[in-house]
Structures are given as C-alpha cells and as structure tokens.
Amino acid sequence: MTELVIDRLGHRGDGVVLQPDGRSLFVPYTLAGETVDVDLQGGATRLNRILTPSPDRIEPACRHFGACGGCLLQHVAPAPYADFKRRLVVDALADRGLTADIGETRVVPPHSRRRATFAGIMAGRHPLVGFNERASHRLVGLEECPVVKPQLLAALPALTALTGLVAPRKGGLDLTVTLTAGGLDVSVAGIAARDVDRLRLPLIELAERFDLARLSAGGEAIVERRSAAIDIDGVAVTLPPGGFLQASAEAEAIMGELVTAAIPAKAKRVADLFSGIGTFALRLARQAEVLAIEGEAGAVAALDRAARGMTGRHRITAERRDLARRPLIEKELEKIDAVVFDPPRAGAAEQSLWLARSKVPTVVAVSCNPATLSRDLRTLVDGGYRIETVTPVDQFLWSSHVEVVAVLRRRAD
C-alpha cells in the first residue's frame, strides 16, 4: 500500500500524481488535493480508499459507478465538473498556441441520452446485457442508469431476449437503442449475414413481442412496424438503420442554437459540411438556402426526404461526397456566405485548408474532439480568420468527452 497526494485531474478524468522522475501516475476516481491509499501494480494503480477527500467530491448518482465504465466523473460536484470540461477545451487550444473567448460549459441534464449502445454476450447459456467495466470486456448488468432516458433502460428485457437469440458463442453484440417518435429503434451489430437470413422470422416475432418500432441487423431493417423518425426543429426525419444521431436532443438543441445564432442575417447561401441527417441544415434552412454535404448515403437520403417534405423554409440541396478526400475547394466556396462543419473525431484537416484559402466571411466549427478541432482552428486562424467565441457542450454526461462549437469570422485586414 502506498499513500499519494493527487496533483490534478487529467484529461481522461483520472487523478494525476507527478513523480520525481517526471512520469505520471494515474489514479481513477480521485480529485486534485486528495490524499489516497493505492496499490501500485506494475504500471497500473488501484485505489483502495480516500484518506482525505476533496471538498469537490460528492456522492455518485448511480450504484454502478466505479464498476460500470460508462461514467468516470460522477464523484465531481457540478461547478468543478463543468470547469473540467471547459479546461479540456482551453488546454487543447493552448497546445496549438490559440487563445479565445471560451464560454461556460453548457451541461445537459441527467436522463437525457436518447441513444445508447449496450453490449450483449452469452455468459454460458445465459444472455447478459449491460455496459462494459472500465478497460475490460466484462459486463456490468444494469439495475439503473442516470444517463439514459428511462425508455432505453426499459428496453433491457428485449435486448436480453435478442442476445439470447442471435449472440455468437464467442464475442458479443453491440445493441444500439434509440428512442424515436414511433418507439424504440434497435440496431444489432456483430451478427453474421448468414445468421440474419436464418433468423429473420424469429427476429420479426421478437420485435412484435416487445413492441419495437424497428429492428435492424447489419445495417438492414429486418422489420419496421412504425416509423423510426425523430424531430429536428419541427421536421420529421426517418433515421437510416444504425445511422449517426446526436445522442442527446438537449445537446443537439444547444448546438443548433449556437450555430444558427452565428450565421449573419444577410447570409443567403450556407454550406453545412459533414451534415449527417440534417442536425444543422434543417435549422439553417429557416434563414438561408443550404448546401448539405455528407459522405454516408443513408444520411443523405434521409435528409433529402425530410427536406422535400418541409414547408416554410429555404431549399436544402443534399449531396453525397467524401469531404476527407474531396473537400470543397476555393472556387466552390466563392458563392457561400457561411460554412458550418461538424466532422467525425478525425476532424476536417483537408477542408480547413481550403476554407483558409477562401473568402467565406463566417465559419462555424463543431466538434466532438477538442484536439482535432484545435488543429483545424489553427489552420483557419493562420489563413486569416479570427476566433470569436468557443462554447463547450457537455453532451456525454460524466464522461471525459466534450462537444465544442467555435465561431470564426474572416479578418478584414
């Protein structure tokens, strides 16, 4: 047993102890200033007990905290927790030599996740569904979860039956559940195509028995009993099976508010890059014509169908294009008054280079990865843009992840 004092909270949510030789020890579930008793096991550190707790420590919201790997920061009081999320953004920008007006973190409430991916495995002859333990393939069977909407937790009996029906003997399943207007939309990954064909009828019967709106496997809708649609700013959008969706409607609304507020009233044509199913495009169409570009065919088709059915908004042109390989170039950006981009975690390196060469007056960058966002912002700033505001949005409650919305304007000089 070893007694340590925690120096700070690291970017991944662990307490950090700086060693005399310059190396860092990471102690999960600890806070800055705490004195702790740990076991040192090679390169790993196991927390035994907190000897002197931080005044920022609170009682976790969930009985599974510390076993379930889904949450890392339930023990942090609200104010220092929000500051931790903001600090992730501050530090990422500083690593690229950037300073900006970084706002306070906008934090979503508990029970706001409308989409979650559970793991399903066979434990001998018994199906088990839950979340993985931290850094482990072992599952924690859930009795409660203060992160997801109650309807998702109520889906566990259906997911357990589904696991018992289709789970392979080795390995497991990823079971993505989304709460839609029509009910629960369940998508299964990890099942072989031959098994999908063999089990088609039992899968349809399972969806009927548990009243699922839609059940998909391998990207194919096996049965759709009701529309798996969600509301985006008053427009119904039918999700493609297993397609991307912002995990929290509350976070989506916050980001949508920040994005649309940044677009000048005089803007006539806006490009929404990496547009997905129209999270921002459908909102932007209230004020301007929108060119929405996305690489996933299912998302493009979903947005196109939704846009054709909307009324009282400007036109949305939905185009499929791999922006990582074929970004919008300077000439294509000539008639664009504002650009919004929300890329995957890898960021928008190539697109940022072309934006930096363009004369687009306003760019709004949205990202789930402060590190790649800061890289792209550095490119834009070097190309003549000024960072106006940066806002952290805590979509993934009690995790070490943070969404960011940054607004940039091209400098006049």
Instruction: Pull the structure tokens for residue 142.
Output: 């859930």
Kindly give the pairing relationship between strand 15-18 and strand 126-132. Answer: unpaired
Write down the catalytic residue from 62, 71, 145, 368: 368
Q: How far apart are CA 259 and CA 374, in angstroms?
A: 18
145 counts as catalytic: no
The residue type of 259 is V
Q: How far apart are CA 145 and CA 371, in angstroms?
A: 29
H/E run at residue 82: helix 78-95
pTM equals: 0.94
* pLDDT score, position 167: 85
* CATH topology match: 2-57 vs 115-230: yes
* pLDDT score, position 19: 86
* pLDDT score, position 242: 87
Greatest Cα pair distance, the chain, in angstroms, is: 70
Domain-by-domain residue ranges, the chain?
A: 2-57, 83-109+248-410, 115-230
Number of C-beta neighbours around residue 157 at 10 A: 11
φ and ψ at residue 83, rounded to 5 degrees? -65, -35
Q: Which of 147, 145, 144, 189 is nearest to 168 (CA)?
A: 189
* pLDDT score, position 20: 85
Cα–Cα distances in angstroms (integers) from residue 187 to residues 2, 54, 157, 177, 217, in the given order: 46, 42, 15, 7, 6
Q: How far apart are CA 141 and CA 138, in angstroms?
A: 10
The domain 2-57: what is its CATH number?
A: 2.40.50.140
Q: How far apart are CA 82 and CA 332, in angstroms?
A: 40
Phi-psi region of 398 (alpha: psi -120 to 50; beta: other; left: phi over 0): left
Collect all residues with Cβ–Cβ distance below 8 Å to 198 and sequence separation of at least 6.
none
* pLDDT score, position 44: 75
pLDDT in tens, 244-263: 999 999 999 999 999 999 99
Q: How far apart are CA 381 and CA 373, in angstroms?
A: 12
Q: Which CATH architecture best describes the domain 83-109+248-410?
A: 3-Layer(aba) Sandwich (3.40)
Residues in the chain, pLDDT under 70: 43, 413
Residue 236's Cβ-count burial label (10 Å; 0-12, 13-18, 19+) is middle
* Residue 294 assigned ligand-binding role: yes
Kindly give the pairing relationship between strand 229-232 and strand 220-224. Answer: unpaired
The domain 115-230: what is its CATH number?
A: 2.40.50.1070
The residue type of 307 is A
